[in-house]
Amino acid sequence: MKSRKQPFTPEILLVEDNPGDVRLIREALRESGRGSHPHVVDNGVKALAFLRREPGFEDAVQPDLIFLDLNLPRMSGREVLQELKSDPRLRSIPVVVFTSSEADTDVARAYDLHANCYVTKPVDLDRFIAVVQAVESFWLGVALSPPVECGQGA
């Protein structure tokens, strides 16, 4: 993670297969004025390949924040979360589960897998944008990231 003491361009990974939600999240991030740079992958396999800089993603940046949908093709968000939080090089990246599910079992399972936050996608457009901006503001403007020495690796 980058130091909050210097200006930086926040890198955000959106793990989302719904093009409409991707567009709305990008718009909300753009409107926030924080200058975040979103990267998008549309399934769980690509998410892990991006994070691990596997073939096709060798030049991928380490994100400062991940928005993770639960219902993804090829590998579910739950499986991605489990892999991510089991990897010492990746586990300190904040993961916000951003999904349409309000099921208690999904919420409990996400936190059992060490999600940093669970947010349901609002159906109202203005609320959707406000929630994305609030998440971005908290995780990239208020919360402190662990120092690079504490498990983060490139």
Check which CATH number belongs to the domain holding 56 and give it. 3.40.50.2300
Answer whether residue 54 is part of any domain.
Answer: yes
Answer whether residue 5 is part of any domain.
Answer: no
Domains contained in the chain, number: 1
Q: Is 25 helix (H, G, I), strand (E, B) or coil?
A: helix
Confidence of residue 83 (pLDDT cuts 50, 70, 90): very high
Confidence of residue 153 (pLDDT cuts 50, 70, 90): very low
Answer whether residue 91 is part of any domain.
Answer: yes
Answer whether residue 122 is part of any domain.
Answer: yes
Boundaries of domain holding 125: 11-142
CA dist 21 → 67, 103, 113, 124, 150 (Å): 11, 20, 24, 12, 33
Q: What percent of the chain has pLDDT over 90?
A: 84
| 9-37: average pLDDT | 95
Q: State pTM to two decimals.
A: 0.90
State the average pLDDT for the chain.
91
Answer whether residue 152 is part of any domain.
Answer: no
Residue-level pLDDT at 61: 95
